[in-house]
Structure 1
Amino acid sequence: MATYHSGEIAVQERAGLAREAGYALGGIGATVPPVAREFLAEQPLIVLGGSDRAGRIWATQLTGPPGFIRVPDPRTVTIDALPLPEDPLADILATGSRPRIGMIAIEPATRRRMRVNGRAHREGDALHVDLDQVIANCPKYLQKRHYVETRPGDDTTVARTAVEGTELTPAQQRTVRAADTFFVATASDQGDADASHRGGNPGFVQVLSPTLLRWPDYTGNAMFLTLGNLLLNASAGLLVPDWETGTTLHLSGTAHTVWDPEEIARVPGAQRLVEFTVEAVREITGASPLRWSSPAYSRFNPPAG
């Protein structure tokens, strides 16, 4: 039977949404239902979250033609792809270890998404994930996009390079300010990983300094899986995708929830705020072969502050 851990319960109670969280608990299972299996098989993209060998949490993505994500049985997901060599999680996922990872698959064209968490191990050129959690998600704050797969030699193909740092460059700050979507990876104090989506109108993520970001926590499903993890384990990783070029911006650091009513009141639609301190940056150009259309913004997006 699905349960919440102590961090999730504490945040639910502080937010005054414990009853709603109890109802939402029915959306957490341990197996993939047939309709979700079909959904996963149609996706060209899945986002992963986990820890590297140094214990830093990162979020990243894997891509492939529809069908590269398979569900051989209701408790297993197989992904016919591995992280790029430059990827911050490449080392840990390329070994024979069984790291805990969180995953979220999204379909921007229909605004559908689902999360699956478990333990991964590599077999050949594929990742096999033994599932602990399968979580249904609502479509709020997800921008509608359609994808086009490019191939080597196409005019839109970008050479792959990777740069690292400990703070955001001016260009990376502009990327974050312009973002309407990012993904956040967290883990409980027991190491159970999770990956989630955050979306809003461009500008919803504030860059307070080269090492400090802040974004609003909007009304959601009342589970507080991300904020509950952060209460117990402040480590977090962000993935900011460039939908037009295939560049990925990976950030690792720590985060905490801001409950100050005066601060929250300054940000339209915010129920809480989250502040993220950047400790490590990795930007990979040409990371994804996918290109996406311009977004149709979700009608649920509050105006950016």
Structure 2
Amino acid sequence: MSSTVHQGERALQQRLGVHERMAEVMGQVVRNAMPAQHIELFEKLPTLLVGGLDTQRRPWATVLSGWPGFMHAPDAQHLRVEALPQAGDPLSLQINMPLGLLALEPQTRRRNRLNGTLVALDSHGFTLQVDQSFGNCPKYIQARVPRWVQRDKPALAKAESARLSAAALQLVRGADTLFIASATPHARGHAGAEGVDVSHRGGLPGFVRVTQHDDGPTVLHIPDYRGNQFFNTLGNLLLNPRAGLLFIDHHSGDLLQLTGDAALQWDNAEGREIRFTVDSGVWRAGALPLEWSAPEFSPHLTG
């Protein structure tokens, strides 16, 4: 049990009365090797979502891209990625660091997770050894089809302060998708459940509320819709409030990466929410050489 669930995940499952059932479920679906269908998905995708920690142990979420086949599995316990974070990306890779990966195919709403340890790094890419491999349900994913585009050379990264710029606020307020990176307090490589996660959150445009008071930091309010009850992200946040967010402009390829503190709020009138207080961030214009079709919103969303 200790190899698949950590204290924070277990505490939330116990609070909601699902611990015994989820212990059985997670024991069956969380593996230390990738099944064939997970390998197949990684190897056909043009993007990879990545969560990791910087030298100050702050979580960041980012996205890597390449022609399908830029990821391949030499065996079921290793994934080779022929891509690296670009200049200006706040996530820097190091040997033995824990990483959380998310393989997401939005047009089919397929997604798989892989948490592991970086065991090889060179000028072309990196290799991750699997610590945990598991699937996620298709809920709240907006179906959209990617296509490659020729972009001008990406602009230099621009720093975002704790109080977000007008451009950043516009992207956040119009978003229907975001990604969140989180970690246990002592996240390290080869540690089973004690690592880093990156997960998807989706909703109708405007589902992320923004508050700003006086000269204080920007606060984002992210609803926590009912999911698979693994509580990977929320369990991490219960133990360690640091988190990183990624917003993607699906037309321009602009990326907004934020780091800050996140707290789970149970008293919101509309249900649980993650309350994220921005510490700092980076805006990377035209960072992705992809654009996506207009979204087909998840049938699980109402409003």
In structure 2, the residue corresponding to 1:245 is in which secondary structure?
A: coil
Q: Distance in 1 between matches of 2:107 and 2:25?
A: 25
> Structure 2: which 5+ runs fail to align?
188-194
Please say if 1:227 is aligned against 2:243.
no
**1:183 Cα shift?**
0.4
**1:85 Cα shift?**
1.1
Q: Distance in 2 between matches of 1:194 and 1:24?
A: 19
In structure 2, the residue corresponding to 1:29 is in which secondary structure?
A: coil
Q: Distance in 2 between matches of 1:65 and 1:159?
A: 18
Q: Distance in 2 between matches of 1:285 and 1:98?
A: 30
**1:46 Cα shift?**
0.5
Deviations 1:207-231 (A, max 9, x none): 1125211111111101100000011
Q: Distance in 2 between matches of 1:195 and 1:111?
A: 16
**1:23 Cα shift?**
4.0
Deviations 1:181-202 (A, max 9, x none): 0000000122111100000101
Please say if 1:9 is aligned against 2:10.
yes
In structure 2, the residue corresponding to 1:9 is in which secondary structure?
A: helix
Provide TM-score, normalisation by structure 1.
0.91
Question: Residue type of the partner of 2:104?
Answer: I
Q: Which residue of 1 aligns with 2:291?
A: 291
Change (3 A) 1:24 1:204: farther
Deviations 1:4-28 (A, max 9, x none): 1111000111123224422430221
Q: Which residue of 2 aligns with 1:56?
A: 58
Q: Distance in 2 between matches of 1:225 and 1:20?
A: 16
In structure 2, the residue corresponding to 1:143 is in which secondary structure?
A: coil
Partners of 1:109 and 1:146 within 8 A in 2? yes
Partners of 2:143 and 2:297 within 8 A in 1? yes
> Structure 1: which 5+ runs fail to align?
none
Q: Of the candidates 164, 180, 185, which is equivalent to residue 184 of structure 1?
A: 180
Partners of 1:24 and 1:222 within 8 A in 2? no
Q: Of the candidates 106, 114, 128, which is equivalent to residue 116 of structure 1?
A: 114
Q: Distance in 2 between matches of 1:82 and 1:195?
A: 17
Q: Distance in 2 between matches of 1:195 and 1:12?
A: 19
Q: Distance in 2 between matches of 1:168 and 1:179?
A: 15
Partners of 1:240 and 1:249 within 8 A in 2? yes
**1:3 Cα shift?**
2.5
In structure 2, the residue corresponding to 1:161 is in which secondary structure?
A: coil
Q: Distance in 1 between matches of 2:275 and 2:160?
A: 19
**1:35 Cα shift?**
1.5
Aligned residues: 288
Q: Distance in 1 between matches of 2:34 and 2:247?
A: 27
Provide TM-score, normalisation by structure 2.
0.91
Deviations 1:28-59 (A, max 9, x none): 11101112111111100001111111221100
Identity of aligned residues (%): 41
Please say if 1:84 is aligned against 2:86.
yes
Q: Which residue of 1 aligns with 2:42?
A: 40
Question: Residue type of the partner of 1:162?
Answer: A
Q: Distance in 2 between matches of 1:224 and 1:285?
A: 32
Q: Which residue of 1 aligns with 2:190?
A: none
Q: Which residue of 2 aligns with 1:201?
A: 204
Question: Residue type of the partner of 1:37?
Answer: I
Q: Provide the aligned C-alpha RMSD in A.
A: 1.4
Taking the TM superposition and a 5 Å limit, the aligned residue runs for 1:145-184 are 145-151=144-150, 157=152, 159-166=154-161, 167-184=163-180
Partners of 1:37 and 1:71 within 8 A in 2? yes
